[in-house]
A and B are shown apart, each in its own frame.
Chain A
Amino acid sequence: MSDQTDVLQGTLDLLILRTIALEAMHGWAIAQRIQQISDDLLRVQQGSLYPALHRLEHQGWITAEWGASDNNRRARFYSLTKAGRKQVEAEVAKWERLSAGVNLVLKRT
């Protein structure tokens, strides 16, 4: 577990947006998915996911709807809005610029 990295401040939004780009998901599932896809390298402090979700919803990038989860309990399913899709592209581009920049710095020093 010690080789896990805490999610960088500000990148959680990007991860959430990317995760729910394919299908609507509820909070716990999003947390699980992020961990799975990152091959357990990234760790989301589970609680911190929710303020982020509510903030994104408030900003209009994602929208939430109540639906039945796989074990038939009521769950809030989050999905991307139109504005959210644009935002994903912008965030991805931003991230790529940032990581490319960081990589360059790392290689040259």
Chain B
Amino acid sequence: MRLWHILQSRLRSIVFHRRRESDLSEELQLHLDRETERLHATGLSREAARLQARRLFGGLEQIKEASRDARGTAAWDAIVRDTRHGLRRLVRDWRFTTAAVLILGIAIGATAAIFSVVNAVLFRKEAFADPDRLVNIYQNDPAGKPMIVTSYAAFMEMAEYEDIFASTMASSIPNPVRYLQDGAVKSAVAEFATASYLDVLGLRPSRGRWFGATEERSGAPIVAVLGHQAWTRLFHSDPSVLGRVIRMEGVAVTIIGIGPASHRGTLEVGLGTDFWLPITAVPAILGDLVPRDAPTIFAPLLVKARLRERVTVPQAQAAMDVLGRRLAAEHPEQFRNRGEFALGPGITVIPSADVRIHPQADVPFMALASLVLVIVGLVLAIACSNLATLLLVRGAARAMEVSVRLAMGATRRQLVRHLLTESLLLSLAGGIAGCLLAWWAMRALQAIELPFRVDLSLDYRVLAFAIALSLVTGVAFGLVPAFKATKIDLLPTLRDEGLQPIDHRRLTLKNALIVVQVAVSVLLLGGTSIFLQATASARALRVGYAVDGVAMLETDWRFAGYSESAARTANDNLRRRIEAIPGVEAAALMRGLPMASTGMSIVADSATGQQGSEVETAMLEAGPGFFDTLRIPLLYGRVFDARDRADSPRVAVITEAMARKYFGAVDAVGRRFRLQADPNSWTEVIGVVRDTGTRAFEDDILDPIRPTYYRSFTQSGAQATTVVARTSRDAASLVAAMQHELRAVDVTLPVITAKTMAQALAESQAAPAVAATFLAILAGLGLVLASIGLYAVVAFAVARRSREIGIRMALGARSQQVVTSIARGVAALIGVGTGIGLFFVVLLMLVLRASTGSADIGIGNLSVYRPTIDPLALLAIAAVTALVGVAAAFVPARRAARMHPLAALRHE
């Protein structure tokens, strides 16, 4: 009861602070007035009575203070007072405040955003039950290193070792699939797994069930388990999804369960797997996308097993060594392959806890992750150092104020409390700015399409960490001047005799940090320029085919349940209908899009008739009329026509680049090549066409010189179809007309792509532009940080040297000379930083130019682009950096120059 009362009283006094103050004044005034009247009535003059009343009363302010204290709200009042005072100071020094808040905001925002992304992609690792007994098993490559893939046959043999493994499971790496939902084709990620998958991991489905042994048999109706994430995201947590039949790649699939909420899939990367299907569903779902390299490998598999009790990893390894040797002896044909899927006889057993993604990928992956974390740390360190400099500058500038206040009787505690409040306010503002920036950055990142989907939610622990760190920095460096200032012997400072020597060491460290910041900004600007160059060269590229008036419509007959032969007939029907649209000059069938070729390994015959070695090409599938529709000129031989049927010998039309590169002559008609994966796939070259700009799936940047061949669409699966058509009229209205015709053929057919060639080209070129924008933003932030750092350092130097400046000016130096002397130092910092930055930019460009092919782990597709070293761009980068740096240094330098000599001498 009493506690409640005290609480209420305190709350009331806090909330009604202002009214309480006036009440107190009024109450005391009443007393004084009454006492004055009483004394006046006893015969004193009014004035004497008033004085006597005051005397009897005692010190008014002390009584007020004591009354406030009696309520126990004095501390709160002090906080309110200090906060108000602090806010006033921060508003008055708005330049300093803006700079500090910007620094803190960038540091906190960038750190939290970058770390959230890295964490989402790399570090979140799932905890399984009894993890010590879970192992990963890999077949090795000829060099004895674990491979990405393990063959299904080998997995079956591994599973036989029941005395070693309590249970064994295999799952494919995630595969992109398309499925039909509400009449629209959607993309998803599917994994093909064994029935034992969840048992080995020690998990349970959150709803429904996992597929069993009967559903795993070849030919059984296909079932699927929905990932928990996909269930909430794609199906809005609808429980009735169990038992629903969906069409995936045209195949009917029944959903029977929903996966564990905690489990993201085999690789535990990104958002994880949307569908799990039985491993035997691979041929039905993936169809001819499955590599046909070796008869036993039909999907890259990852194998995990649970060791039996009392079985150790070395024991399991020994058993697998035996198996590896036996497999090599029994199936020598599997080990004869070369290239990407070359097998070696060894098998590796590694505890699952020691593997993040794959033993071979982990090192570069972790290196990348560490690099990112180092960068994050560097950003934080630089930001904190800049903030510290700023606060030191301010502290130095305030030494006088502090001395005066001490002389006026302020206690040291009051001063410290004061400066502390100010620092906290600053950190708070910075924290808010950081949260806003991080939030904005995450929204911007979510808009970028990544090769795999990532749970891009802000990591609040990291945000809290960054805020805490900046808070500590703010408070620590906000207080250093406070303690320093309050320790100053009063008299010398007031007389301004304390000429402190410049701390050379600290200044040097600060200078080094500034140089690093400038260099990093330049490097980021350089990266931006590389991507801008890539964008520009992609735009400027001779596409090599008609763009104006060309429209495309992509569908897939499998989604409407068409067989291959039915699809062929329907295709012809669709093509005739589109040709009949008024204005259409030509139309042809193809698979996929003209700018989306598939990478293929082929073996070309050599001029002497012998077999050459394996080479890389890009492949497109085109039907009769294709080259006419896209106006691609034929150089030699013929193009596809009615002679090329599904049962006739395989034929191909190749590009000039491929003819020259792999057949040694532009006229390669009559020459032959085969797929590396299939010895029976000899294909005859029937024609050579001019090069076009084709884009491979794995590259994001147009590579015009990529050797490409066209396979006959009539000789491949006809179900996935694109109709390209050229009109003399508007391409956009042709898109609509084509969709109309598609619906007329079969209303249930999905539209996968419907756009003009101009749109498709723009989209295929979007990636480098996005990268350029992203880097430009980073470079901008870097420049802001660097310029604030420069500002702080110059301001620091000016504050420290104001006495020297004063003396110089008193001795007749002109303000210009003062500015020049400061500018010299600034120019040196910017010059060195820019120089180092440009050196690394050129180095990066040279490395990129020297690199061959794309990197194995698809980190940066930058590696497929070979930039030219453009001196003008480098000059522009240097100019921008110098301009920003000089502008940042100008403000404090001008203040120094405008300083009145007397003021400069007297003041510090």
Q: Report A's interface with B, CB cutoff 8 A.
A: 26-28, 31-32, 45-48, 50-55, 57-60, 69, 73-76, 83
Q: Is the CB of B27 within 8 A of A58?
A: no
* Residues of A close to B35: CB separation below 8 A: 28, 46
Q: State which of B1, B58, B67, B70 has its C-beta within 8 Å of the C-beta of A45.
A: B58
Cα distance A35–B58 in the bound complex, in angstroms: 17
* Extra 19 A-B pairs, beta carbons < 8 Å, given A27-B30, A28-B31: A28-B30, A28-B34, A45-B56, A46-B31, A47-B60, A50-B67, A51-B63, A51-B69, A51-B70, A52-B70, A54-B70, A54-B71, A58-B6, A59-B2, A60-B5, A69-B30, A74-B26, A75-B27, A76-B27
- Please judge, given known A-B contacts A28-B31, A45-B58, A75-B30, whether A51 and B6 are in contact too, CB under 8 Å: no
Report B1-34 residues with CB < 8 Å from chain A CB. 1-2, 5-6, 9-10, 23, 26-28, 30-31, 33-34
Residues of B within 8 A of A57 (CB): 9, 71
Beyond A27-B31, A47-B57, A69-B30, whether A60 also contacts B23 by CB under 8 A is no
Question: Would A51 and B30 be within 8 Å (CB), given that A46-B57, A58-B9, A60-B5 are in contact?
Answer: no
Shortest A81–chain B CB gap in Å is 9
14 A-B pairs with CB atoms under 8 Å apart are A26-B31, A27-B31, A28-B30, A32-B38, A45-B56, A47-B59, A47-B60, A50-B28, A51-B63, A51-B70, A54-B67, A55-B70, A55-B71, A60-B2
CA distance in complex: A78, B167 (Å): 83
Nearest 3 CB-CB pairs, A to B?
A47-B58, A55-B70, A51-B66
Whose C-beta in chain A lies nearest to the C-beta of B9? A58
Q: Identify which of residues 663-686 in chain B touch chain A, using a CB-to-CB cut-off of 8 Å.
A: none
Which chain B residue lies CB-closest to A26?
B30
Chain A proximity of B787: nearest CB distance (Å): 53
Q: Does B72 contact A (CB under 8 A)?
A: yes
Cα separation A54 to B23 with both chains bound (whole Å)? 12
| Chain B hits for A53, CB < 8 A | 67
Q: Count residues of chain B with CB under 8 A from any CB of chain A.
A: 30
Decide if A83 touches B71 in the complex (CB within 8 Å): no
Q: Are A73 and B30 in contact (CB under 8 A)?
A: yes
Alpha-carbon distance between A27 and B31 when the two chains are bound, in angstroms: 7
Contact residue among A46, A54, A83 (Cβ-Cβ distance under 8 Å from B56) = A46
A60 — which chain B residues lie within 8 A by C-beta? 2, 5-6, 9
In the complex, what's the smallest C-beta–C-beta distance from A2 to chain B, in angstroms?
15
Q: Is the CB of B63 within 8 A of A50?
A: yes
**Chain B nearest Cβ from A71, distance in angstroms:** 8
Of the residues A27, A46, A52, A83, contact of B27 by C-beta under 8 Å: A27
> Which residues on A sit within 8 Å (CB–CB) of B28?
47, 50
Majority-rule SS of B interface residues: helix
Q: How far is the CA of A60 from the CA of B35 in the complex (A)?
A: 28
Chain A residue contacts of B66, Cβ below 8 A: 48, 50-51
**B54-101 residues at the A interface, CB under 8 angstroms:** 56-60, 62-63, 66-72
Q: Are A59 and B6 in contact (CB under 8 A)?
A: yes
Taking CB atoms, residues of chain B closer than 8 Å to A48 are 58, 63, 66
| Complex CA–CA separation, A18 to B60 (angstroms) | 26
In the bound complex, residues from chain A placing their C-beta under 8 Å from that of B27 are 26-27, 50, 75-76
A76, B23: Cβ atoms under 8 Å?
yes
Cβ contact within 8 Å between A58 and B72: yes
Assembly CA distance A50 to B68 (angstroms): 10
Q: With a CB–CB cut-off of 8 A, which chain A residues contact B71?
A: 54-55, 57-58
Task: From B30, B60, B62, name the one whose CB has the most chain A CB atoms within 10 angstroms.
Answer: B30
Instruction: Give Cα A59 to B2, complex, Å.
Output: 7
Q: In the complex, what residue of chain A is closest to B3 when comparing beta carbons?
A: A60
Of chain A, the residue at the smallest CB distance from B60 is A47
- Chain B residues contacting A50 (CB-CB under 8 Å) are 27-28, 31, 63, 66-67
Chain A positions within 8 Å of B26 at CB level: 74
Bound complex: CA A52 to CA B71 (Å): 10
Chain A residues near B2 (CB-CB < 8 A): 59-60, 83
In Å, the complex CA distance between A28 and B32 comes to: 8
CB distance from B28 to the nearest CB of A (A): 6
Chain A residues positioned under 8 Å from B23 (CB to CB): 76
CB-CB under 8 A from A54, the residues of chain B are 67-68, 70-71
Q: How far is the CA of A52 from the CA of B23 in the complex (A)?
A: 16
Q: Measured between C-beta atoms, what is the minimum distance from B17 to chain A in Å?
A: 14
Which of chain B's residues have a CB closer than 8 A to the CB of A27? 27, 30-31
